[in-house]
Amino acid sequence: MIFITAKFRIRPEDADRWPDISRDFTQATRGEAGCLWFDWSRSLDDPNEFVLVEAFRDDEAGAAHVQSAHFKAAQQDLPPHLAETPRIVNAKIDQDDWSELGELAVHR
């Protein structure tokens, strides 16, 4: 799978509205056949930073994502709300879902 984590620094005046601002893009991406997950979290240290964790089945799914109409719309719609260019880690890994963190296994 293609595993991506991106940090988005949002303009302070838009940070509280970011879930609404990014909603159409998020929902459309989650609806893609090759999207495994597309999840936003807000930083505990910086209220203006959101972290996006996303995964796509394979190269074809990743290509379909960046060629989609909603991705092209996001390229126009989202940057006015950003304080800086997002930072990204993008890797191909040989798995298709989350693994358990054995060092913190829950035993009940």
Kindly compute the dihedral angle of the four CA atoms of residues 12, 79, 39, 23, in this order, to the nearest 10 degrees: 90
Full set of structural domains in the chain with CATH = 2-94 (3.30.70.100)
Strands 35-42 vs 49-56: parallel, antiparallel or unpaired:
antiparallel
Predicted structure pTM score: 0.93
**Torsion angle, alpha carbons of 11, 15, 19, 21, to 10:** -40
List pLDDT tens digits, range 13-39.
999 999 999 999 999 999 999 999 999
pLDDT in tens, 34-72: 999 999 999 999 999 999 999 999 999 999 999 999 999
